[in-house]
Amino acid sequence: MTPMTNGLKASDLQLRFCTNETQLNREAFVDKLKRLGFDISVSEVFSPAPAAVAILKERGYRPHLLVYDGLLPEFDSVDTTNPNCVVIGDAAEKFSYQNLNEAFRVLIGLEKPVLFSLGQGRYYKETDGLALDVGAYMKALEYACDLKAEVVGKPSPIFFQSVLNDMRLQPHEALMIGDDLVNDVGGAQHCGMKGVQVRTGKYRPSDERHSTVTADGTVDDLAQAVDMILKQRH
Amino acid sequence: MTPMTNGLKASDLQLRFCTNETQLNREAFVDKLKRLGFDISVSEVFSPAPAAVAILKERGYRPHLLVYDGLLPEFDSVDTTNPNCVVIGDAAEKFSYQNLNEAFRVLIGLEKPVLFSLGQGRYYKETDGLALDVGAYMKALEYACDLKAEVVGKPSPIFFQSVLNDMRLQPHEALMIGDDLVNDVGGAQHCGMKGVQVRTGKYRPSDERHSTVTADGTVDDLAQAVDMILKQRH
């Protein structure tokens, strides 16, 4: 991977990294991208956990957390005593029968059960094969408790809006680039931004004739997307 | 519990026991009821597992089984090599992250994924508290694979119909008694049978003003239901 976003950094354009990563905290995520050659700082990264923390504090929620251990530091500042809601992330092997029952019991014991889900992915690729993502467990708890979870992360409009707010930009002034047609491109478009898909990662040829989402552009990779943006500036 | 169904047995009425039990095989289930004083034989018990076995054989399906160990003997006669569908029951602690991923991988690897669910319960009471039932895990796999499971057991019409077929009765000639308003009473009514609810077990006072299901009668317990039936015969 070529760190082509550095070309953007040299321009006067603002840059933010929006990820649904919920296994690493932002520090670890930035370290990982830096090793790949990206010039990036923690304040430029938007991920579901800190967005959830802001919501929890704003609404006075004390969460029961069912998240990956590596993500726990993001919640250090949150009161988790006597929980009045549940937050689930991609907890991977922590999605045990016992832990799911525990989260369920917290929810069903509340007068008004509230569930936050850090993303709603169906599945993803692990080194040893495909694995169920947080969205599947969200659906399990939604059904058992007869509720609708509040999704934090892409494609949630509240998530994209928080990133726009941070840049002090209007939606039409921003462009989203991503490999996930529904969550990246569709989510951004739903907020009034333009959305460009890269033909890497999660991209599938069938995305280019998707029934509900049509990208504003499709490019081979991030380098080509950056090139396109910088050329249009001149 | 008084084995009041013995009064029915002395009459010329036919009697069947319909259960969504998927942790015990029928032999173990009958032993349990016999210890409670019920005069009952295996051929009178209808449960999801044998109903599923009939469907699997009829349609040439070889299942990947994610069920409780105690239920496995019900599937002894079924070919499980090179699976082309998945069957889930209330697997309890066998609903591990690993086992769910395994079932998911079988489904997602099929050209046309087929999932059978032995019931669709939301949760049930264990000795140590409430536990997620098979329906929650069904929803997780449905979402991850973008499919709709085929539910075997109450309230599935195909399940009630198989019981009527066994008794060689038309729906209007049969009466269902149960504690579960939606799955027992509503399911039976949906097939054209009458449905009576008992105020025991899963019964909740709010059932008597339910938005979609209205029982044809509500009685305090099974004894009262049997009494009512026998009296109406004279």
How many CB atoms are closer than 10 A to CB A31?
12
Q: Give the 3-state DSSP-derived string for A54-109, with helices as H, strands as E and coil as C.
A: HHHHHHCCCEEEECCHHHHHHHCCCCCCCCCEEEECCCHHHCCHHHHHHHHHHHHC
Q: Please check whether residue A69 is in contact with residue A35, taking contact to mean a CB–CB distance below 8 angstroms.
A: no
A33 torsion bin: left (phi>0), alpha (psi -120 to 50), beta (else): alpha
A93 lies within 8 A of chain B by CB: yes
- pLDDT higher than 80, residue A101: yes
* Minimal CA separation from B107 to chain A, in Å: 11
Q: What is the ipTM of this complex?
A: 0.86
B17 lies within 8 A of chain A by CB: no
B130 contacts on A by Cβ (under 8 Å)? 101, 104-105, 108
- Report the first-to-last Cα separation within chain B, whole angstroms: 26
- pLDDT higher than 60, residue A2: no
Q: Please check whether residue A117 is in contact with residue A149, taking contact to mean a CB–CB distance below 8 angstroms.
A: yes
pTM value surpassing 0.90: no
Enter the tokens of residue A163. Answer: 């990133």
- pLDDT higher than 50, residue A225: yes
Measure the CA–CA gap between A122 and A37, rounded to whole angstroms.
29
B104 contacts on A by Cβ (under 8 Å)? 123, 130-132, 136
pLDDT tens for each residue of A211-224: 999 999 999 999 89
Q: Please check whether residue A101 is in contact with residue B132, taking contact to mean a CB–CB distance below 8 angstroms.
A: yes
Q: What is the largest CA-CA distance in chain A?
A: 59
Measure the CA–CA gap between A141 and A134, rounded to whole angstroms.
11
A143 lies within 8 A of chain B by CB: yes
Q: Please check whether residue A213 is in contact with residue A186, taking contact to mean a CB–CB distance below 8 angstroms.
A: yes
B105 lies within 8 A of chain A by CB: yes
How many CB atoms are closer than 10 A to CB B8?
17
pLDDT tens for each residue of A141-192: 999 999 999 999 999 998 999 899 999 999 999 999 999 999 999 999 999 9
Strand positions, DSSP E, chain A? 17-18, 45-46, 63-66, 85-88, 115-118, 123-126, 129-132, 150-152, 175-178, 194-198, 217-219
Closest CA to A155 of A126, A117, A125: A117
Measure the CA–CA gap between B148 and A69, rounded to whole angstroms.
33
pLDDT tens for each residue of A8-18: 777 888 999 99
Best residue of B143, B182, B204 to probe chain A, by most A CBs closer than 10 Å: B143
Size of interface A-B (CB pairs under 8 A): 83
- In the prediction, which pLDDT does A1 show? 41
B221 lies within 8 A of chain A by CB: no
Measure the CA–CA gap between B143 and B159, rounded to whole angstroms.
24
pLDDT tens for each residue of B39-51: 899 999 999 999 9
CB–CB contact A140 B144 (8 Å): no
- In the prediction, which pLDDT does B4 show? 61
Enter the tokens of residue B138. Answer: 């069904």
- In the prediction, which pLDDT does B234 show? 65
Closest CA to A190 of A216, A210, A165: A216
- pLDDT higher than 90, residue A7: no
Counting as low any pLDDT under 50, the low residues of chain B are: 1-2
